[in-house]
Amino acid sequence: MSESTETQKRECADSEGEKDGVASKKPKIESCAKGSDDNGVKEPSFLVEADAAEDKGSRLTMEDAWVVLLDASLDYPGKLRCAHFAIYDGHGGRLAAEYAQKHLHRNVLSAGLPRELYDAKATKRSILNGFLKTDESLLQESAEGGWQDGATAVCVWVLGQRVAVAHIGDAKAVLARSTEGSQNPDGVQALKAIVLTREHKPIFPLERTRIQKSGGFVSPDGRLLGRLEVSRAFGDRQFKKVGLVASPDVYTFEVTNTEHFIILGCDGLWGVFGPSDAVDFVQKLLNEGLPVATVCRRLVREAVRERRCKDNCTAIIIVFKHK
């Protein structure tokens, strides 16, 4: 299966998606668990189901791009189960978002993402190198094409029994995790929202220091050179000499029975949803037995139509279905 057939196809909304005005794809769930854990023998203890939805909000154009790949092996087969999910939030146009959508995962694979046995250091190293290679080639293409678009990113790789999360900019990943004995007043198991990402804003001390050392400045309103709201992004070649970088933060963890789902969202979603609010919203609908595709559409519809998100709004929900 080619990567292009599994990445976003906005025209393939199903009937409910068309009615809601929210684009989504047909539900995606692993047909079977394949792969192995660290010792190369056991299969993962969970299946993955995931879907995406998007809405341009009140913007004239849609600058987000996303990827949902339940089998993300591409030309790099191996015993280790590999799934990949990503949201790229474009600004100044969608060319950078589309470029990263097309090239990042393949660059991470070619940089040595583990395909046989899980290795934490190799995983982080390949993701970092994949991000940097993608940005380098993107900058070259943008210079040749005369465009200056940029894009933030939040990405997830499911490798066997483990998850790696990488991001640049202000897109977020939120994990829903249960704790033993915790219940809501109605008797439903309570889930805690764990924010897996840290926003990269020019005003934050580490980011500001790097920018100033590179000859840039942060304006009183917290923008790089008074213009850019983030301090890490793909593209934006006009800012790369003054401290803007594409180096991601990478966080990894093992999935146990206490991890239930992850919500990926661009800043448009998180501008109107708090992490706990979003987890509660998704949990309620999943507990009602709704498919992940429907839950994802309703999350985006709630953000845009009810909570008046004015920005592009894209979300991916990744559910761990424990055996």
pLDDT in tens, 158-179: 999 999 999 999 999 999 999 8
Q: Is the model's pLDDT at 30 over the cut of 90?
A: no
Measure the CA dihedral 124/127/130/136, to 10°: -80
pLDDT tens column, 194-242: 999 999 999 999 999 999 999 999 999 999 999 999 999 999 999 999 9
**C-alpha triplet 166, 153, 48: angle, nearest 5°:** 60
Residue of 45, 50, 25, 21 whose CA lies nearest to 35: 45
pLDDT recorded at residue 246 = 97
| pLDDT score recorded for residue 78 | 94
Q: Which residues have C-beta within 8 Å of that of residue 214, sequence separation ≥ 6? A: 241, 242, 243
Indicate if the pLDDT at residue 38 is higher than 70. no
Look up the pTM and report it.
0.88
Whether the per-residue pLDDT at 34 is higher than 50: the answer is no
Confidence label for 44 from pLDDT (cuts 50, 70 and 90): confident
Per-residue model confidence (pLDDT) at position 180:
73
Lowest mean pLDDT among 39-53, 77-91, 200-214: 39-53
Q: Does 139 score more than 50 pLDDT?
A: yes
User: If we measure between CA atoms, which residue out of 127, 123, 126, 116 comes closest to residue 38?
Assistant: 116
Please state, in angstroms and rounded to a whole number, the distance separating the CA atoms of residues 87 and 65: 6
Compute and round to an integer the Cα radius of gyration of the chain. Answer: 19
Q: What is the percent of the chain with per-residue pLDDT over 70, rounded to a whole number?
A: 85
Distances (CA, A) of 127 to 1, 108, 206, 250, 308: 22, 5, 21, 8, 35
- The yes-or-no verdict on residue 118 having pLDDT over 60 is yes
183 pLDDT band, cuts 50/70/90, is low
CB of 43 within 8 A of CB of 59? no
Domains of the chain in sequence order: 3-197+248-322 (3.60.40.10)
Q: Is the predicted pLDDT of residue 22 greater than 80, yes or no?
A: no
The whole-number average pLDDT for the span 46-51 is 96
Residue 187 has what pLDDT? Answer: 65
Spatial separation of the C-alpha atoms in residues 245 and 234, rounded to whole Å: 8
- Does the pLDDT of residue 18 top 60, yes or no? no
What's residue 210's pLDDT?
A: 97
Q: What is the pLDDT of residue 233?
A: 98
pLDDT of residue 308: 92
